[in-house]
C-alpha cells in the first residue's frame, strides 16, 4: 500500500509515504490509506498527534498522474477526475486541515503539487532549508487542485500565490519559511530533531484543547466576529470540562509543570 502506519505509546500516529523510487508520489491506494487513517484519528482517543512524512530523500512529488494517464489506452473515461477528487485528494487535504488532533509535516527534498498542499494544510510544517516546494500545474497544462487556490493565498498572500501558481516559481525551504508557507526551515542535519521536539511537545499537550483550538482557527478563516465568539464560548465550555483542564489548574496552583493525559 506504500504508506507505513505506526502508532506509538505516546499517541503519535506516524504516516510515512513509502514510495521513495517515485519520490513518494501518491497513488489512489495510498490516498485511500491516508484518508482512512486520518478519519480514524478523529475518533481514536489513543491518537494525540499525527506526523506526516516521506521515506527517503523526498516528502512527496504530488499525485501520481503518470500511472493514471498511461499511453496504453487504459486511461479512465471522461469525468473521472470530477467524480474521484472529492473522495480522494480533496478529502485528504480537508482531513489534514480539519481533524481535531494536531498534524505535523516533515519535509525534505521535493514537496510538489499535492505534496505542497499537504504541507500547507498541516498545522505545523518544518522543512529542510534545501527542500523544494513547487506547484507544477501550469507547466503540465492543467489547473491547480487539492486546495492550492484556497491554501496559498491564506498562507503567503494573494500576490505571492499568483507567482507560485501562474509563473510556477519554485521555493526553497528557506524561502518557504520566510514567506509563511511553512512553520520553519532548518539545516538538513537538524530536521529530524526539530520535528521530534515539536511532536513530543504536542503529544504531551492537552489534546482536547489543542484539537478545539485547531477547529477554531479553521472555522475562523471565513467567519464573522460574532460567530467566532460563539464558537470560542462553546470550545471553552468543552475544554474546561476535560481532565487536562483540571490538571492544568492544579499544576498552576502547585507551581509545577502539568502532566496532561490527553483526556
- Determine, yes or no, domain membership for 150: yes
Specify if 261 maps to a domain: no
Rounded to whole angstroms, the Cα distance separating 158 from 165 reads 10
- Range 17-27 average pLDDT: 94
Tell whether 258 is covered by a domain. Answer: no
Distances in Å between the Cα of 128 and the Cα atoms of 55, 156, 255 are 14, 19, 37
Three-state DSSP class for residue 211: helix
Instruction: Reply yes or no on whether the pLDDT at 222 is more than 90.
Output: no
| Residue 117: φ, ψ to 5° | -65, -35
pLDDT score at 89: 83
| Structural domain boundaries, residue 211 | 207-253
In the structure, what pLDDT confidence band is assigned to residue 145 with cuts at 50, 70 and 90?
confident
User: 3-class DSSP state for residue 22?
Assistant: helix
Query: Cell 503518470 appears where?
Result: 66
Q: What are 227-259's pLDDT values in tens digits?
A: 999 999 999 999 999 999 998 999 899 998 898
Residue 31 has pLDDT above 80, yes or no: yes
Q: Is the pLDDT assigned to residue 178 strictly greater than 90?
A: yes
The pLDDT of residue 86? 46
- The verdict on 238 and 175 lying in the same domain is no
pLDDT band at 64 (very low <50, low <70, confident <90, very high): confident
Here the CATH number for the domain that contains residue 149 is 3.90.226.10
When divided into structural domains, the chain yields a total of 2
The burial class, CB within 10 Å (0-12 / 13-18 / 19+), for 32 is middle
Is there a single domain that holds both residue 153 and residue 229?
no
Residue 214: inside a domain: yes
Percent of the chain exceeding pLDDT 70 equals 91
The residues, any chain, with a CB within 8 Å of residue 202's CB and separated by 6 or more, are 48, 49, 102, 104, 124, 210
Q: Are 134 and 54 in a shared domain?
A: yes
In a domain, 129, yes or no: yes
Distance of CA 29 to the CA centre of its chain: 19
pLDDT at 81: 52
Same domain, yes or no: 224 and 240: yes
Averaged pLDDT, 145-173: 94
Shared domain check, 216 and 196: no
Tell me: pLDDT of 70 over 60. no
pLDDT of residue 138: 84
Mean pLDDT calculated for residue range 149-178: 95
Residues 6 or more apart whose Cβ sits within 8 Å of residue 178: none
* Domain assignment present for 36: yes
Query: What string of DSSP letters covers 150-169?
Result: HHHHHHH-HHHHHHHHHS--
- Look at residue 259 and tell me if it is in a domain: no
Same structural domain, 99 and 224: no
Whether residues 83 and 213 fall in one domain: no
Q: So what's the pLDDT on residue 90?
A: 87
Distance CA 253, CA 263 (A): 20
Amino acid at each position: 500500500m506504500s504508506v507505513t502506519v505506526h502508532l506509538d505509546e505516546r499517541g503519535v500516529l506516524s504516516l510515512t509515504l513509502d514510495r521513495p523510487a517515485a519520490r513518494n508520489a501518491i497513488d489512489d491506494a495510498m490516498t485511500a490509506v491516508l484518508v482512512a487513517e486520518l478519519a480514524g484519528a478523529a475518533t481514536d482517543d489513543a491518537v494525540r498527534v499525527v506526523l506526516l512524512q516521506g521515506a527517503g530523500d523526498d516528502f512527496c512529488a504530488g499525485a501520481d498522474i503518470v500511472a493514471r494517464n498511461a499511453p496504453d489506452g487504459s486511461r479512465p473515461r471522461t469525468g473521472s477526475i470530477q467524480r474521484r477528487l472529492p473522495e480522494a485528494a480533496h478529502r485528504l487535504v480537508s482531513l489534514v486541515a480539519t481533524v481535531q488532533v494536531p498534524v505535523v509535516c516533515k519535509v525534505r527534498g521535493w514537496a510538489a503539487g499535492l505534496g505542497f498542499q499537504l504541507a500547507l494544510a498541516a498545522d505545523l510544517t518544518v522543512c529542510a532549508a534545501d527542500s523544494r516546494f513547487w506547484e507544477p500545474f501550469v507547466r503540465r497544462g492543467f489547473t491547480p487542485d487539492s486546495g492550492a487556490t484556497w491554501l496559498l493565498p491564506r498562507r503567503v498572500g494573494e500576490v505571492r500565490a499568483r507567482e507560485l501558481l501562474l509563473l510556477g516559481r519554485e521555493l526553497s525551504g528557506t524561502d518557504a519559511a520566510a514567506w509563511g508557507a511553512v512553520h520553519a526551515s532548518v539545516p538538513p542535519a537538524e530536521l529530524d530533531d526539530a520535528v521530534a521536539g515539536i511532536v513530543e511537545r504536542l503529544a504531551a499537550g492537552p489534546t482536547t484543547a489543542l484539537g478545539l483550538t485547531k477547529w477554531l482557527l479553521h472555522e475562523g478563516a471565513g467567519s464573522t466576529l460574532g460567530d467566532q465568539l460563539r464558537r470560542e464560548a462553546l470550545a471553552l465550555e468543552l475544554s474546561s470540562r476535560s481532565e487536562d483542564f483540571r490538571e492544568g489548574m492544579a499544576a498552576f496552583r502547585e507551581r509545577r509543570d502539568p502532566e496532561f493525559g490527553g483526556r
